[in-house]
């Protein structure tokens, strides 16, 4: 354990939180994190067994670097309701952060109720203002979190207290963190800087980004900006940049890459057909992003380097799940901005290829589909458009998507004829 100040409570401690939040907190001073798992005690038990310290392995194309992270000062299973209420109610705590995935904010999730229970204990203790910060990949995640918490607060008095004493800053986070493998654990013994005997290391890419809304009036927080966090008034442009450039191209690479026989992002990005489609999608997004051109160019250059890293094994099948929910915000949103700016512009080739690739994924690779909201394997182009963009289900859009699908099929056929697995 460390002598850090336990000012942050985190719910959902997993690989990403330990590669991102804990890394920034480690580099921003003497703050510490009291971590809670979702429900399973496994990660908490493993961390406690090694003093809540662990190894962060930064995996670049050129090799691995290791450093010990000690920002977590305590770890508990999420089922420990007493410890949870005590931690949130503590006057030392001024920040609660979350990585609970998109599911944690939906109806039926117990996350909002757990937050409300903690806030109720805080109100009873008279511990003052606090900020709840989502680190999940949701647009306007602060507002989404606020609505979920207020919706779970049945007591009108508690609702009023939350509205007066709790801030919900939005944030945009980014750092690819693949699952740690048994080989990763075994290799630690030969890696300088690693924690001796570490059973729960985290592997991550060199790139990391955090853009955070500065809505902390009267609330103490770490000096995260000294560790590289960008504090802004509005995170929306940065959310759009990530969704449209990184996430949009991830979806495109997943569906198109799988059609062309690839397994990973790095492999697909090395394919000229996939790379050209990604550049088209990025060109379309760049025209709609409300950010300086130089910043957009820098973001694209960074993504090329990140995607090409062959030592970060980011599988296309993992990215391909849930396209019915992801494509509307990653691809269709750009198209709507494009048409609002120029109604005559029509669908761009990048967006058309992304939608067409998803359609082919559904109809020609149904065994790979993991998406409860997707149309079936017998769907036509209109079925696909009605799911992700019903207002854009026009003959012009359908024709462009169908043409893009034909081009993908032609590429697949050519590779098959040449003996390349498709």
Per-residue model confidence (pLDDT) at position 2: 64
d(CA 173, CA 192): 28
Per-residue model confidence (pLDDT) at position 421: 46
Give one word for 218, left, alpha or beta, with left for phi > 0 and alpha for psi -120 to 50: left
96 within 8 A of 57, measured Cβ to Cβ = no
Which distant-in-sequence residues (6+ apart) come within 8 Å of 196 by Cβ?
none
**Which 8-state DSSP code applies to residue 249?**
H
CA-wise closest residue to 246 among 173, 348, 341, 349:
173
Per-residue model confidence (pLDDT) at position 414: 77
316 within 8 A of 365, measured Cβ to Cβ = no
Which distant-in-sequence residues (6+ apart) come within 8 Å of 232 by Cβ?
211, 212, 213, 214, 238
**Which 8-state DSSP code applies to residue 344?**
T
CA-wise closest residue to 118 among 173, 76, 73:
76
Domains of the chain: 5-234 (3.40.50.720), 237-417 (1.10.1040.10)
Q: What pTM value is reported for the model?
A: 0.91
Q: Which residues of the chain have pLDDT under 70?
A: 1-2, 416-422
331 within 8 A of 228, measured Cβ to Cβ = no
Q: Compute CA distances 150 → 67, 147, 294, whole Å.
A: 40, 5, 40
- Strand 171-174 versus strand 130-134 pairing type: unpaired
Q: Edge-to-edge strand order for the sheet containing 54-60?
A: 63-69, 54-60, 202-204
Sign of the C-alpha dihedral computed for residues 118, 6, 126 and 222 taken in this order: negative
> From the CB of residue 422, how many other CB atoms can be counted at a distance below 10 Å?
15
277 within 8 A of 254, measured Cβ to Cβ = no
Q: pLDDT, tens digit, for every residue of 269-295?
A: 999 999 999 999 999 999 999 999 999
258 within 8 A of 365, measured Cβ to Cβ = yes
401 within 8 A of 385, measured Cβ to Cβ = yes
Which distant-in-sequence residues (6+ apart) come within 8 Å of 293 by Cβ?
286
Q: Compute CA distances 363 → 132, 352, 356, 374, 380, whole Å.
A: 42, 16, 11, 11, 9
d(CA 161, CA 166): 8
Which distant-in-sequence residues (6+ apart) come within 8 Å of 194 by Cβ?
55, 57, 66, 68, 188, 201
Q: Can you give the length of the chain in residues? A: 422
Q: Compute CA distances 90 → 48, 150, 221, 417, whole Å.
A: 21, 21, 15, 67
């Amino acid at each position: 354990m460390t002598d850090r100040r336990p000012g942050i409570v985190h719910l959902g401690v997993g690989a990403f939180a330990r590669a991102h939040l804990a890394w920034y907190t480690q580099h921003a001073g003497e703050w510490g994190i009291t971590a809670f798992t979702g429900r399973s005690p496994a990660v908490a038990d493993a961390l406690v067994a090694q003093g809540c310290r662990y190894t962060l392995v930064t995996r670049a194309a050129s090799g691995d670097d290791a450093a010990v992270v000690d920002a977590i000062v305590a770890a508990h299973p999420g089922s420990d309701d007493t410890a949870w209420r005590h931690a949130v109610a503590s006057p030392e705590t001024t920040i609660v952060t979350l990585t609970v995935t998109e599911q944690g904010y939906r109806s039926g999730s117990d996350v909002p109720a757990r937050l409300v229970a903690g806030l109720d204990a805080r109100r009873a203790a008279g511990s003052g203002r606090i900020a709840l910060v989502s680190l999940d990949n949701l647009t306007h995640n602060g507002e989404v979190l606020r609505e979920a918490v207020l919706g779970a607060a049945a007591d009108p008095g508690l609702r009023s207290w939350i509205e007066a004493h709790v801030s919900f800053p939005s944030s945009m986070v980014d750092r690819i963190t693949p699952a740690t493998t048994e080989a990763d654990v075994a290799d630690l013994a030969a890696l300088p800087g690693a924690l001796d005997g570490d059973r729960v290391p985290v592997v991550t890419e060199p790139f990391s980004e955090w853009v955070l809304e500065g809505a902390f009036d009267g609330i103490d927080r770490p000096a995260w900006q000294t560790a590289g966090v960008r504090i802004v008034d509005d995170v929306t442009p940065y959310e759009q940049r990530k969704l449209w450039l990184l996430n949009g191209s991830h979806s495109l690479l997943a569906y198109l890459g799988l059609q062309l026989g690839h397994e990973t992002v790095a492999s697909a990005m090395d394919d000229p057909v996939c790379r050209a489609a990604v550049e088209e999608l990025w060109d379309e997004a760049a025209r709609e992003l409300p950010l300086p051109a130089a910043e957009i160019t820098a973001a694209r250059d960074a993504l090329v380097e990140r995607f090409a890293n062959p030592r970060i094994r980011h599988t296309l099948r993992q990215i391909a799940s849930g396209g019915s929910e992801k494509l509307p915000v990653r691809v269709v949103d750009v198209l709507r901005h494009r048409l609002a700016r120029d109604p005559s512009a029509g669908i761009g080739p990048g967006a058309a290829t992304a939608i067409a690739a998803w359609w082919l994924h559904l109809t020609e690779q149904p065994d790979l589909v993991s998406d409860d909201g997707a149309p079936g394997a017998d769907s036509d182009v209109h079925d696909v458009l009605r799911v992700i963009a019903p207002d854009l289900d026009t003959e012009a859009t359908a024709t462009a998507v169908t043409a893009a699908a034909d081009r993908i099929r032609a590429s697949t056929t050519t590779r098959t004829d040449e003996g390349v697995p498709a």
